[in-house]
């Protein structure tokens, strides 16, 4: 579903990501791990056609992100790090607006709206202004916006950041519930979250890929945190002292 | 088309959900009404004293509603637009940048040109509503005036629309440059003032030799001046070049806005 080959992105002289290659099959949930500033957001922004890569090729559902950008954008739902919300709109009008932007007709938008309101448990706030919502609800509205057109591929950039444990668990179970029909790639630096939601992890560090494996393989001998720290070159000994 | 109308309605409702539209509409109505009242009041007083502009007991020029009420009104209002229009357009793209919602716009399967046009049309409707009261003053003159020239004063009204629509295009471009609405306001106001005043320099420059070609700099500045073209229209002499001038400004700045809004991708 997602094919990334030798993806490289430089911001002027500064390296964003370097020579990233991976494939993600249909229906997989993949955790995208890395310390802050490792290139997770950069990679995701390239996947969703927000910005072009310096080198390399990315194909989503067989379409190239540069040549068939419009076709790719139709297939993708994207939740950026800061949910793109308009504070002076109600949840209902906002989701309707996004539905129209995503190319849905009036009826499809209505149906999509009902579906995402139920899936994201937004029914109690659907007629409230987004500006008045709590962080947890804002995050869920962000997720609803990414889901309204029932996309094949879902790209979530730190979907659980800043949420309390209860909201966190809600979002996690929500994401798990979406597996199967949607291909999901989610980035995070909160490790326990990955063990609970993903089947596979890709770890990047300083723009380079340091691991790409099934979660079981990575955590057979050690827990994920140890494996992660080892991969990004943080010595175990150092950590103990 | 669907995208354009979605953007249009969102922005149009946004104007009335925030104080912007109310402040601008009330402000413009109040100030323009006051100006109209003062000009008309003065006109009535002075016509009761004398027939026209006198030199040594001779009437050089008769007072008329067109020359002494409507033309000064249109001139003053065009300057008022330099403050009002940026207030209407400043948030259009700046807010998207500030709320990080441009990331949504740039990753939806839509063309940036429809976003720009949708937003532009929303601001045009607000400006249209803003200029309606001026139509009322125009109607008062046409109905109660003794011998007004309907063509000339209607042309001036049209000129106000052209100026405000051009300033709106400049404003939307200014808004696409920055996430700070205050900066967007001033960039638009200053650019507007530049286009208004650039013609003033035409009197002090002449023909310039430029690599063997002679370039009439004075004429160039006059053609670039918004005031010059606006004055033609207010005087009732609408030429194709005047209309082309305003159209060109609108197209140029809307295109600039599209490029500028897309430039978020180039980081």
The string of pLDDT tens digits covering residues B10-24 is 999 999 988 989 999
Cβ-based contacts of B18 with chain A (< 8 Å): 88
Instruction: Tell me the nearest-neighbour CA distance from B2 into chain A, angstroms.
Output: 7
Using the predicted structure, report yes or no on whether residue A233 has a pLDDT greater than 80: no
pLDDT at B77 over 90: yes
Nearest to A224 by CA among A207, A201, A206: A201
Residue A239 confidence (pLDDT) above 60: no
Range with lowest mean pLDDT among A54-68, B154-168, B174-188: A54-68
- Is residue B233 predicted with pLDDT exceeding 70? yes
The three state secondary structure string of chain A is CEEEEEEEEEECCEEEEEEEEEEECCCCEEEEECCCCCCHHHHHHHHCCCCCCCEEEEEECCEECCCCHHHHHHHEEEECCCCCCCCCCEHHHHHHHHHHHCCCCHHHHHHHHHHHHHHCCCHHHCCCEHHHCCHHHHHHHHHHHHHCCCCCEEEEECCCCCCCHHHHHHHHHHHHHHECCEEEEEEECCHHHHHHHCCEEEEEECCEEEEEEEHHHHCCCCCHHHHHHHHCCCCHHHHHC
Whole-number Å distance between alpha carbons of A101 and B49? 64
**Between chains, do A86 and B2 touch, taking CB under 8 Å as contact?**
no
Q: Residue A179: pLDDT above 80?
A: no
- Residue A170 sits at the vertex; the CA angle it makes with A165 and A175, to the nearest 5 degrees, is 125
The rounded mean pLDDT for chain B is 90
Cβ–Cβ gap B104/A101 under 8 Å: yes
CB B107 to CB A48 under 8 A?
yes
Looking at the predicted complex, does its ipTM rise above 0.90?
Answer: no
Give B54 or A124, the one with higher predicted confidence. Answer: A124
Q: Which residues of A touch B91 (CB under 8 A)?
A: none
Check residue A160 and give its pLDDT: 81
Residue pLDDT, tens place only, B164-214: 999 999 999 999 999 999 999 999 999 999 999 988 887 777 777 777 777
Rounded to the nearest 5 degrees, what angle is found at the Cα of B51, between the Cα atoms of B48 and B56? 120
How many whole angstroms separate alpha carbon A106 and alpha carbon A181? 24
pLDDT computed for residue A189 by the predictor: 75
State what percent of residues in chain A have pLDDT above 70.
Answer: 96
Cβ–Cβ gap B267/A51 under 8 Å: yes
What is the nearest CA distance from A89 to chain B, expressed in angstroms? 8
Whether the Cβ atoms of residue B72 and residue B32 lie closer than 8 Å to each other: no
Tell me the mean pLDDT in the region B95-118. Answer: 93
Q: Using pLDDT thresholds of 50, 70 and 90, give the confidence band for residue A235.
A: low
Residue B6 with chain A: CB contacts under 8 Å? 97, 100-101
**Residues of chain A contacting B105 with CB distance shorter than 8 Å:** 101
Q: What is the rounded (10 degree) CA torsion for B201, B204, B209, B210?
A: -20
Q: Which of B17, B110, B266 sits opposite A101 (nearest CB)?
A: B110
- Chain B, residues 79-108, CB within 8 A of chain A, namely 99-108
Delimit the domains of chain B by residue range.
Answer: 2-266
Q: What is the distance between the alpha carbons of residues A160 and A172, in angstroms, rounded to a whole number? A: 8
Cα of B264 to nearest chain A Cα, Å? 8
**In chain A, where the domains are located:** 2-83+153-240
**Rounded distance between C-alpha atoms, residue A140 and residue B206, angstroms:** 65
| Mean pLDDT, residues A144-153 | 91
Q: Identify the pLDDT of residue A114.
A: 92
Give the per-residue pLDDT at B166. 96
| Of the partner residues A52, A86, A102, the one whose CB lies closest to the CB of residue B109 | A102
Give burial (CB, 10 Å; 0-12/13-18/19+) of A49.
buried
To the question of domain A2-83+153-240 being in CATH 3.20.20.140, the answer is no
From chain A, pick out residues whose CB is under 8 angstroms from the CB of B106: 49-50
User: Which pLDDT belongs to residue A213?
Assistant: 81
CB B96 within 8 A of CB A89: no
**Do the Cβ atoms of B265 and A97 come within 8 Å?**
no
Taking the CA of residue B111 and the nearest CA in chain A, the distance in Å comes to 9
Cβ atoms of residues B29 and A120 within 8 Å: no
Q: Please report how many Cα atoms fall inside a 13 Å half-sphere around the Cα of residue A126, on the Cβ side.
A: 16
Q: Which residues of B touch A70 (CB under 8 A)?
A: 109
Q: Apex CA A107: angle with CA A104 and CA A108, to 5°?
A: 40
Number of residue pairs across A and B with CB atoms under 8 Å? 68
User: Residues A156, A186: contact at Cβ < 8 Å?
Assistant: yes
- The residues near A222 (Cβ < 8 Å, ≥ 6 apart) are A230
CA atoms lying within 13 Å on the CB side of residue B120: 26
Whether residue B10 lies within 8 A of chain A, CB to CB, comes out as yes
Nearest CB neighbour to B107, from listed A50, A85, A100: A50
Say yes or no to pLDDT of B63 above 90.
no
The per-residue pLDDT of chain A, averaged, comes to 86
d(CA A57, CA B73): 61
Of A51, A86, A97, the CB nearest to B99: A86
Is the model's pLDDT at B160 over the cut of 80? yes
CB B14 within 8 A of CB A130: no
Task: Say whether pLDDT at A92 is over 60.
Answer: yes
Stretch B209-232: mean pLDDT: 84
């Amino acid at each position: 579903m997602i094919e990334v080959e030798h993806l490289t992105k430089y911001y002027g002289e500064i390296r964003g990501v370097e020579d990233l290659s991976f494939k993600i099959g249909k229906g997989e949930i993949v955790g995208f791990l890395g310390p802050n500033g490792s290139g997770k957001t950069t990679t995701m922004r390239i996947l969703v056609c927000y910005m072009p890569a310096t080198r390399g090729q990315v194909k989503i559902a067989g379409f190239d992100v540069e040549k068939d950008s419009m076709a790719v954008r139709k297939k993708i739902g994207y939740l950026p790090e800061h949910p793109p919300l308009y504070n002076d709109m109600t949840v209902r009008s906002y989701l309707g607006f996004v539905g129209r932007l995503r190319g849905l007709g009036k009826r499809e938008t209505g149906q999509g709206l009902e579906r995402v309101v139920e899936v994201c448990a937004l029914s109690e706030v659907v007629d409230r202004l987004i500006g008045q919502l709590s962080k947890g609800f804002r995050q869920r509205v962000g997720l609803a916006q990414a889901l309204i057109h029932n996309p094949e591929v879902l790209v979530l950039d730190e979907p659980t950041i800043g949420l309390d444990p209860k909201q966190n668990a809600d979002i996690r179970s929500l994401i798990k519930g979406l597996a199967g029909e949607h291909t999901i790639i989610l980035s995070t630096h909160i490790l326990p979250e990955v063990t609970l939601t993903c089947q596979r992890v890709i770890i990047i560090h300083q723009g380079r890929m340091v691991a790409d494996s099934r979660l079981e393989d990575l955590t057979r001998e050690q827990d994920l945190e140890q494996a992660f720290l080892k991969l990004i070159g943080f010595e175990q000994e150092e950590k103990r002292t | 088309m669907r995208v354009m109308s979605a953007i249009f309605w969102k922005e149009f409702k946004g104007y009335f959900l925030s104080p912007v539209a109310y402040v601008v509409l009330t402000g413009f109505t109040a100030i323009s009404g006051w100006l109209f009242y003062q000009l008309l009041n003065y006109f009535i007083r002075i016509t009761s004293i004398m027939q026209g502009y006198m030199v040594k007991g001779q009437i050089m020029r008769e007072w008329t509603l067109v020359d002494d009420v409507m033309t000064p009104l249109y001139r003053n209002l065009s300057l008022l637009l330099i403050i009002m229009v940026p207030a209407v357009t400043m948030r259009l793209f700046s807010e998207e940048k500030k709320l990080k919602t441009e990331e949504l716009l740039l990753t939806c399967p839509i063309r940036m040109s429809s976003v720009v046009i949708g937003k532009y049309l929303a601001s045009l409707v607000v400006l249209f509503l803003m200029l309606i009261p001026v139509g009322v003053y125009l109607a008062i003159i046409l109905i109660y005036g003794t011998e007004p020239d309907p063509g000339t004063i209607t042309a001036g009204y049209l000129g106000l629309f052209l100026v405000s629509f051009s300033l709106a295009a400049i404003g939307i471009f200014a808004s696409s440059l920055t996430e700070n609405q205050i900066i967007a306001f001033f960039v638009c106001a200053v650019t507007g003032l530049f286009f208004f005043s650039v013609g003033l320099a035409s009197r002090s420059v002449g023909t310039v030799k430029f690599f063997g070609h002679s370039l009439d700099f004075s004429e160039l500045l006059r053609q670039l001046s918004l005031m010059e073209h606006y004055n033609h229209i207010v005087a009732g002499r609408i030429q194709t070049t005047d209309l082309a001038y305003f159209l060109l400004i609108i197209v140029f700045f809307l295109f600039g806005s599209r490029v500028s809004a897309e430039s978020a991708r180039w980081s």
